[in-house]
Amino acid sequence: MKKIAIIGAGISGLSTAYTIERLAGEAGLDVEVTVFEREERTGGKIWSIKEEGYLCEWGPNGFLDSKPMTLELCDHLGIQNRLERSNDNARKRFIYSGGILNRLPENGPMFLQSKLISWPGKIRLAQEFIKPKRNDGVDETLADFARRRLGAEALDKLIGPMVSGIFAGNPETMSLKSCFPRIHELEQVYGGLLKAMVKMAKQKRAEVKAGKQVASAAGPAGVLTSFVDGIQELTDGTVKGLKGNVQTGCAVTGLKAIDGGWELRLADGSNYDADVVVSAAPAHVLKELTGPLDGELSELLDGIPYAPMNVICFGYEQSKVERDLDGFGYLIPKKEGCEILGTLWDSSIFPSRAPEGHVMLRSMMGGATNPAAVELSDAEVKQRTMAELKKIMGVNAEPDFVRIFRHKRAIPQYVVGHAERLAAIDERLKSRAGLVLTGNAFSGIGLNDCVNAANKAGEQVIAWLQRAA
């Protein structure tokens, strides 16, 4: 029997463990999988908190159903009947600019009519058609890409808010090809984004007739999907689907290569020997573990920064919020000088998130452009958020329900040079047989990305075991 140790019981670690057990069973391999988690609970950043009839997501609130990996995991676990699709109105998204909430245009006619981008900005954006593609291989920042192809106004009002909404990041430092590989690919394949949209629209019409689906050039397709009782059902369901042991409150404090495998030192002073170790821990945790083992690997991991974040959940009686909450919510350009990055209308996205006759708003504060916000007191966070909701949405009332969550290291930042960093990490791992890294610090931060990376990590482990047999 081969012993597999997994470090971290977030979705990355848990789905890796499940994949290893499933593939080992199919291959006729005898394995014992043990997951070690430093916290007293499983789930990592996934945590669905139910209080006073509200359902608050501590971290991510769902995944897009346009990619198969998370849906396939749900099928394997037998929890697909618990899935909940977001309200169709959640497709309506807004940008706060010029003192009003502007609906984000979804097509050409809407874009022409929108007041979000000025006519000079629209004309500059239309020039993207004739801009030559960049093919020198330079790892370009998102800001440089946007200014080059779309113009400064599109950067401020479209790209910047999108980057803060997804990554809590700064477009001046984030890598285009690492953060949005699809957009980088579209420029390389089609010569530009507008050219891609035109050509793909024709392709999509043809494929729709044939019963197929294709992603749009504007971004990922699909419907935001969660579970009846929140996204934590995914990690809880994965734990239940495991045959192996999940040890919570059990931190791994050291990692040592030994003859034929690995030795994990645990916080209680004991050791655990394994044939293979998969780390799904955050990069900053893994950096500490690998320091004595491989200084260069540890240094590479240390170069992956994280953005801090406050998540603020406010619940109100519906009558106290006069604005129509028909949509997903809004993001705010940096130039607006607001204290928050944006607000999601959670109970409009998933109606079960608030009691009958009530609504829930979930605001984000901080990110890479305002890291000091995570140090503010709860009272200050609440006051500043209330002031912004009053200014932007006209909400004057005191919230009936308040929960503030702090993430000092919320989201890994794929800054320029990230791809080269990953290549260097892979090179270091070639001499560390039986050590596999996965998680959102490397190749995608979304749930689908994490599950996809976990599938690949599981396949890597099985291939290694088969070679070693």
In the listed set 209, 242, 266, which residue is the last one of a domain according to the structure? 209
In a domain, 223, yes or no: no
The answer to whether residues 113 and 151 belong to one domain is: yes
In a domain, 198, yes or no: yes
Instruction: Say how many domains are in the chain.
Output: 3
The answer to whether residues 313 and 251 belong to one domain is: no
The answer to whether residues 322 and 407 belong to one domain is: yes
> What CATH number is given to the structural domain containing 241?
3.50.50.60
β-strand partners of 219: 216
Contact 445, 17 (CB under 8 A): no
Q: Which two tokens stand for residue 249?
A: 């409150």
The answer to whether residues 348 and 395 belong to one domain is: yes
Each residue's pLDDT, cut to its tens digit, for the chain (469 residues) gives: 999 999 999 999 999 999 999 999 999 999 999 999 999 999 999 999 999 999 999 999 999 999 999 999 999 999 999 999 999 888 899 999 999 999 998 877 888 889 999 999 999 999 999 999 998 989 999 999 999 999 999 999 999 999 999 999 999 999 999 999 999 999 999 998 888 888 887 777 776 677 654 444 334 568 999 999 999 999 999 999 999 999 999 999 999 999 989 999 999 999 999 999 999 999 999 999 999 999 999 999 999 999 999 999 999 999 999 999 999 999 999 999 999 999 999 999 999 999 999 999 999 999 999 999 999 999 999 999 999 999 999 999 999 999 999 999 999 999 999 999 999 999 999 999 999 999 999 999 999 999 999 999 999 999 999 988 7
- Cβ neighbors of 73 (< 8 A, separation 6 or more) are 15, 18, 234, 238, 451
The C-alpha atoms of residue 49 and residue 414 are separated, in whole angstroms, by: 29
The answer to whether residues 30 and 177 belong to one domain is: no
The C-alpha atoms of residue 429 and residue 407 are separated, in whole angstroms, by: 29
Instruction: Please give the pLDDT value at position 211.
Output: 67
In the listed set 412, 428, 450, which residue is the last one of a domain according to the structure? 412
The answer to whether residues 297 and 344 belong to one domain is: no
In a domain, 195, yes or no: yes
Q: What is the 3-state secondary structure (H, E, C) of the chain?
A: CEEEEEECCEHHHHHHHHHHHHHHHHHCCCEEEEEECCCCCCECCCCEEEECCEEEECCCCCEECCCHHHHHHHHHHCCHHHEEECCHHHHCEEEEECCEEEECCCCHHHHHHCCCCCHHHHHHHHHHHHCCCCCCCCCCEHHHHHHHHCCHHHHHHHHHHHHHHHHCCCCCCEEHHHHCHHHHHHHHHHCCHHHHHHHHHHHHHHHHHCCCCCCECCECCCCEEEECCCCHHHHHHHHHHCCCEEECCCCEEEEEEECCEEEEEECCCCEEEECEEEECCCHHHHHHHHCCCCHHHHHHHHCCCEEEEEEEEEEEEHHHCCCCCCCCEEECCHHHCCCCCEEECHHHHCHHHCCCCEEEEEEEEECCCCHHHHHCCHHHHHHHHHHHHHHHHCCCCCCCEEEEEEEEEEEECCECCHHHHHHHHHHHHCCCCCEEECCCCCCCCCHHHHHHHHHHHHHHHHHHHHHHC
Instruction: Please give the pLDDT value at position 214.
Output: 45
β-strand partners of 97: 100
In a domain, 58, yes or no: no
The answer to whether residues 408 and 310 belong to one domain is: yes
The C-alpha atoms of residue 378 and residue 402 are separated, in whole angstroms, by: 10
Contact 353, 361 (CB under 8 A): no
Instruction: Please give the pLDDT value at position 468.
Output: 83
The answer to whether residues 287 and 432 belong to one domain is: yes
Instruction: Please give the pLDDT value at position 212.
Output: 57
Instruction: Please give the pLDDT value at position 235.
Output: 98
Residue range(s) defining the domain that contains residue 177 = 107-209
The answer to whether residues 8 and 146 belong to one domain is: no
